[in-house]
Amino acid sequence: GAVVSQHPSRVICKSGTSVKIECRSLDFQATTMFWYRQFPKKSLMLMATSNEGSKATYEQGVEKDKFLINHASLTLSTLTVTSAHPEDSSFYICSARGGAQDEAFFGQGTRLTVV
Amino acid sequence: LAKTTQPISMDSYEGQEVNITCSHNNIATNDYITWYQQFPSQGPRFIIQGYKTKVTNEVASLFIPADRKSSTLSLPRVSLSDTAVYYCLAAGGGADGLTFGKGTHLIIQP
């Protein structure tokens, strides 16, 4: 199946700093990528839809100035958590559609810990 | 995006066949049914997808009745490594993100 690679897999940062997470589609082009957030023992929550060459679409309640999304090419989307605070600590997962059945493929996830 | 309902948890033993049923009463005509598996601290992994009747691949089978209001994921001869959360989704393709329900936490015991 198609491969979506996410980097880094885990990151620890200090409060007030910004962290960038990369999501790449390795063997297919993705005009649309998605960013999810997952708290412990909870399900994935869609945060935003990343569109190549245009602004991202954010779900209700997600601060676009806090979670900056850039989709500069057909294989790369980035999520930047700006001025991170401990409550931003979570598991962030990206996804892209591809493959023969247009199924969604997910990255490995990024464990963000803000101290 | 159709809402899905699945059991919160299930237990089984190694070597058994496990069937997880999902209901999606409001499934739309263009929705496909897709199942994902997620291990702790990993992204979900695609298992199988279908529209109607039966679909089988190397890891699972998916049974969908004619009314498509439910579906059953069948895992043959499970092993300890099949312990994971399994998500059922009913959604169309294209530009929409996926809405995940609570999933089924499957626990396989020796």
How does pLDDT run across A74-103, given as a tens digit for each residue?
A: 899 999 999 999 999 999 999 998 766 677
Beta B9-13 vs B104-109: how paired, if at all? Answer: parallel
- In this structure, the strands spanning B104-109 and B70-75 are unpaired
Contact B22, B68 (CB under 8 A): no
pLDDT at A11: 97
**pLDDT, average across residues A16-20:** 97
Residue to substitute from B3, B37, B38, interface A, most A β-carbons within 10 A: B38
Counted across chains A and B, CB pairs separated by less than 8 A come out at: 55
Regarding predicted confidence, which is higher, A10 or A1? A10
Q: Are B2 and B90 in contact (CB under 8 A)?
A: yes
pLDDT band at residue B95 using 50, 70 and 90 as cut-offs: low
Q: Give the model's confidence band at A44: pLDDT under 50 very low, under 70 low, under 90 confident, else very high.
A: very high
What local confidence, expressed as pLDDT, does residue B94 receive? Answer: 63
Q: Note whether A32 and A51 are within 8 A (CB).
A: yes
Q: Tell me what pLDDT residue A52 has.
A: 84
Report how far apart, in Å, the C-alpha atoms of A108 and of each of A46, B20, B24, B51, B52 are.
16, 25, 28, 27, 30
Closest residue to B46, CB basis, from A36, A93, A105: A105
| Res. B96: pLDDT tops 80 | no
d(CA B54, CA A4): 28
Closest C-alpha among B103, B102, B105 to residue B82: B105
Which of B22, B32, B46 to mutate: most A Cβ within 10 Å? B46
pLDDT surpassing 90 at residue B35: yes
Q: CA-CA distance, A23 to A59, in Å (whole number)?
A: 19
pLDDT of residue A99: 65
Under a CB-based contact definition with an 8 Å cutoff, are residues B13 and B75 in contact?
no
Q: The tokens of B7 are what?
A: 């059991």
pLDDT of A51 strictly over 90:
no
pLDDT level of residue B63 (50, 70, 90 thresholds): very high
In the predicted model, is pLDDT for residue A28 greater than 90? no
Q: Per-residue pLDDT tens for A53-81?
A: 888 999 999 999 999 999 888 899 999 99
pLDDT for residue B83 is more than 70:
yes
Question: Is the separation of the CB atoms in A84 and A101 below 8 Å?
Answer: no
- What average pLDDT does this structure show over B56-73? 97
pLDDT of residue B1: 60
Residue of A nearest to B42 (CA): A108
